[in-house]
């Protein structure tokens, strides 16, 4: 379009001129493919923001980043003592490795979910002032939790060995399981990010939601052995968090197995929630700057 065609009978038309120059309105929602391409080009921002947020979270603490290890260790000790005594003979086999695996992986999933919920509202000034794909913010929350959990996984494996579980080729199956966990957690982070923007009270529900998930995902008890109501057992077993724990324990802890259906259902949850989260978050892209 030429400049002359961008001016009508009434004179200068800035909207037509902007269109001719391929300029777009700030805050508009681009096509999904262009949105993801823009995200990929700016992915370094998500990694840098994740690293700085992780450092800032413990900057004023005397123990610093050590808290990322101390807190899960305290949880394992407290839950191990309490539930180990309460469950008594009903404790899962190899209880301590069972518990360690559950707490470390659950903390990662719940951390992505809760940090994702704050990723847009907690960066309101950034969202209002700059034009960038907002998906970078919840993804940054996931990256931050990955950086936090990697040393925990290393300590988890050491702890498992100390309690009598020795490395084997089966341990390699934990890698694809963790990839599925990351995909699922990314989708959950995107969903919670949009939910918080549109429903301010969602933040108040987060502790309740994570607590329900903690007690219903088999972190410290064996769902398959302790639930005898058929439909309830199926519902709890195919809870995605429980599925990922089942697969992780089958890979790392002796005495546990994962069925092919567990892998299929886990993959379906991971890719399904991730894809849904991306599309659902993208559809509200133009509203984030106005609603925060």
Q: How many domains, in total, are found in the chain?
A: 2
Specify the pLDDT at position 62.
57
Q: Could you read off the pLDDT of 51-106 as tens digits, one per residue?
A: 888 777 665 655 556 666 777 777 777 777 777 676 667 778 888 899 999 999 99
Q: Where are the beta strands (DSSP E) in 49-178?
A: none
**Is 99 found in the same domain as 12?**
no
**Is 244 found in the same domain as 149?**
yes
Assess contact for 121 and 292: CB atoms under 8 A. yes
Assess contact for 105 and 244: CB atoms under 8 A. yes
**Is 234 found in the same domain as 123?**
yes
24: containing domain: 1-28
**Is 11 found in the same domain as 125?**
no
Q: What is the pTM of this model?
A: 0.85
**Is 140 found in the same domain as 94?**
yes
The continuous run of DSSP H or E covering 8 comes out as: strand 7-8
**Is 156 found in the same domain as 77?**
yes
**Is 91 found in the same domain as 7?**
no
Average pLDDT of the chain is 84
**Is 127 found in the same domain as 24?**
no
Q: Could you read off the pLDDT of 223-258 as tens digits, one per residue?
A: 988 888 889 999 999 999 999 999 999 999 988 999
Task: Please list, residue by residue across 122-152, b when 16 or more beta carbons sit within 10 angstroms of its beta carbon and e when fewer do.
Answer: bbeeebeeeeebbbbbbbbbbbbbbbbbeeb
Handedness of CA 233, 84, 158, 149 (dihedral sign): positive
Q: Is the pLDDT of residue 128 over 50?
A: yes
Q: How many CB atoms lie within 10 A of CB 9?
A: 5
**Is 67 found in the same domain as 16?**
no
Q: Could you read off the pLDDT of 198-230 as tens digits, one per residue?
A: 887 788 889 899 999 999 999 988 898 888 888
């Amino acid at each position: 379009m030429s400049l002359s065609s961008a001016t009508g009978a009434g004179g200068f038309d800035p909207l037509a001129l902007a269109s001719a120059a391929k300029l777009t309105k700030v805050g508009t929602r681009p096509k999904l493919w262009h949105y993801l391409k823009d995200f990929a080009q700016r992915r370094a921002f998500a990694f840098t923001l994740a690293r700085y947020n992780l450092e800032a979270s413990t900057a004023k603490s005397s123990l610093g980043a050590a808290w990322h290890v101390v807190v899960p260790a305290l949880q394992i000790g407290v839950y191990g003592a309490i539930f180990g005594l309460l469950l008594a003979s009903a404790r899962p086999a190899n209880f301590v490795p069972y518990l360690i695996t559950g707490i470390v992986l659950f903390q990662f999933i719940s951390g992505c979910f809760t940090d994702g919920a704050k990723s847009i509202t907690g960066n309101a000034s950034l969202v209002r002032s700059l034009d960038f794909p907002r998906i970078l913010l919840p993804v940054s929350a996931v990256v931050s939790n990955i950086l936090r959990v990697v040393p925990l996984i290393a300590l988890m494996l050491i702890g498992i060995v100390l309690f009598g579980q020795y490395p084997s080729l089966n341990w390699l199956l934990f890698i694809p399981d963790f990839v599925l966990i990351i995909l699922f957690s990314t989708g959950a982070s995107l969903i919670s990010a949009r939910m918080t923007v549109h429903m301010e009270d969602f933040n108040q529900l987060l502790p309740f939601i994570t607590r329900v998930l903690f007690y219903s995902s088999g972190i410290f008890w064996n769902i398959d052995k302790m639930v005898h109501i058929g439909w309830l057992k199926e519902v709890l077993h195919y809870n995605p968090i429980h599925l990922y724990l089942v697969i992780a324990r089958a890979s790392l802890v002796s005495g546990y197995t994962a069925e092919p259906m567990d892998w299929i259902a886990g993959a379906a949850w991971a890719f399904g929630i991730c894809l849904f989260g991306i599309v659902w978050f993208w559809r509200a892209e133009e509203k984030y700057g106005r609603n925060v």
